[in-house]
Amino acid sequence: MSQVYKSSINSTFVHCIRNMETNFLRAHIDQIVCLTDEEFQYAESFFTKRKYKKHQYIIQAGDVASCEHFVLKGIVKSSYTDHEGKEYILQLAMEEWWFSDPNAFNTGMPATLNVDCIEDTETLSISFENKEKLCASSRKMEYFFRKKYTTGNMALQKRVLALLSNNAGERYKQWRNQYPSLQKRISKTLIASYLGVTRETLSRLSL
């Protein structure tokens, strides 16, 4: 096989992968707003593709966290660790989810959250500056991000209320019904920590 032919195959493969990623983001945006090809190409230019290995940290407490991320592939865990070393899981984000340290991203203050990869992960990231520029120049994308922000706040409220008012069995049932595919991809230890129960309690609930 000639070197030219090999290069052609590699180029075609990379192009196909890139198209899949582009289509994934566009389909996600189209759920809220419809962009023309030109509008989408403009919006896409503000994002950067990033790859991370399993267990690699994307954000660490104390660091600058100037990007929001859209998950193309993989799962990440957002957590807070208190002064006694106890970890509290705030979010488990998989494909088509967004994550960041919201306070650090929007204020420029050091991150308080840790975000690490449960699987090998690929994201499209957008910096605070680029997001501001994109929203200022595209009313459609400003509306998209505003709707995503609202949806995120509603999901957070639902999670907090479940932790405050639901028992362990109710929280587990709600989580399992809402995110059935996650259950097969993460450990029961992580699920238990996310739900605020012990590993032993989760085992009983899973029977």
What domains can be seen in the chain, in order of their start residue? 3-165 (2.60.120.10)
- Residues 67-115: tens digit of each pLDDT: 999 999 999 999 999 999 989 999 999 999 999 999 999 999 999 999 9
In SS3 terms, 113-138 reads as: CEEEECCCEEEEEEEHHHHHHHHHHC
Confidence of residue 159 (pLDDT cuts 50, 70, 90): confident
State the chain's mean pLDDT as an integer. Answer: 89
Distance (Å, whole) CA 124 – CA 135: 17
pLDDT digits (tens, 9 = 90+) for 119-143: 999 999 999 999 999 999 999 999 9
| Residue 112 near residue 103, CB atoms below 8 Å | yes
The answer to whether 63 and 73 are in contact (CB under 8 A) is no
Write out the DSSP string of 128-190: HHHHHHHHHH-HHHHHHHHHHHHHHHHHHHHHHHHHHHS-HHHHHHHHHHH-TTGGGTS-HHH
Q: How many Å apart are CA 122 and CA 53, to the nearest integer?
A: 9
Spatial strand order in the sheet of 76-81:
57-59, 114-117, 76-81, 87-93
pTM to 2 decimals?
0.86
| Distance (Å, whole) CA 43 – CA 133 | 10
